[in-house]
Amino acid sequence: MAKITTAQLLKMKQKGEKITALTAYDASFAKLFADAGVEVILIGDSLGMVLQGHSDTLPVTTAEIAYHTRCVRAGAPLAFVIADMPFMSYATVEQAMHNATPLMQAGANMVKLEGGDFLLPTIKALTERGIPVCGHLGLTPQSVHVFGGFKVQGRDEQAANLMVQQAIALQDAGAQLLVVECIPSALAERISKALVIPVIGIGAGKDTDGQILVMHDLLGISSGYIPKFSKNFLQETGEIKQAIGKYIQDVKQGQFPGPEHSF
C-alpha cells in the first residue's frame, strides 16, 4: 500500500470511493488494519473507555495519546494516522499548539478536535503552523456531561441547519477532514454534499464519504454494550482478519452501515 495522504483521501471523495477508518491503540492491530487496506487509523480518546475502563473519555491525557500514537505509527508506517486531542487540551489557541506538537512528533498526520465555532481561530492557527486538523461534530464525547449522556444530535431543523453551518465554517477555517457522530442519516448526507473535504461518519448513515468504528466494537469485545451504530463483524466471520476484510468490503460497497445501524 502506498502512503496515504490528505490529497489521496480528497481524491477518494471526488471519485465516490468510500474511505475506511478504525481506531487502534497499538502496533499489532495498526499493522493488521493497514495491511488489510484500512486507509485511516485514529488513536481515539476512546482509549479511556476501552483500554482504561473509564465511563467516559475525559481522564485521557495528551501524554497517553502520544504514547499510543507512537505505537500505532510503528505498526502502520504508511497509514493516515489521526490523533485525538484530549479533553481541555485545546481550550485556548496557545494550549492547542502546545499539546498538538507532541502528537505530531509521535507520528500523527493530523489532530482531531471536537466542537464548532469556538474552534475556528484554533484551527486557523494550527493549520498555518503546519498541523492539519480533523473536525468532529454531532455527538462530541468530551461534551457528554453537557449533553446529559450519549444522545443523537441534530434531530430538529434548527439544530441541523446550525450543524451544516458549523461544518462549512470548520472547513473554511482550514479543517481537511470532518467526523460526524450520532446524527440523522439525512443530515450526514447533507453535510457530506455541502463540503469539499471528506466527511467520515460514525452512527451517521451510509451516505458520508467514509466510516469509522471503534475496533473493540467491531470485534464485539467492548465492555458494557455495543452501540446501535456498530456491528460485531467478528461474530459474523469468526476470524479477526476476515472481520476486518468484511468491514472494509461492506463499507466500500455501501452495505454498512445499514438502516438498523442508523438514526
Contact yes or no for 140/154 (Cβ under 8 A):
no
Residues carrying an active site annotation: 181
The answer to whether 250 is annotated as binding is no
The answer to whether 46 is annotated as binding is yes
If 0-12 CB within 10 Å is exposed, 13-18 middle and 19+ buried, where does residue 126 land? Answer: buried
The answer to whether 114 is annotated as binding is yes
Q: Grid coordinates 458520508 are at which residue? A: 208
CA distance 112 to 123: 10
The answer to whether 252 is annotated as binding is no
E strand segments, the chain = 19-23, 40-43, 80-84, 110-112, 133-138, 177-181, 199-202, 210-213
The answer to whether 84 is annotated as binding is yes
Distance linking the first and last C-alpha atoms of the chain: 34
Residues annotated within the binding site are 45-46, 84, 112, 114
Known binding-site residues for 3-methyl-2-oxobutanoate equal 45-46, 84, 112
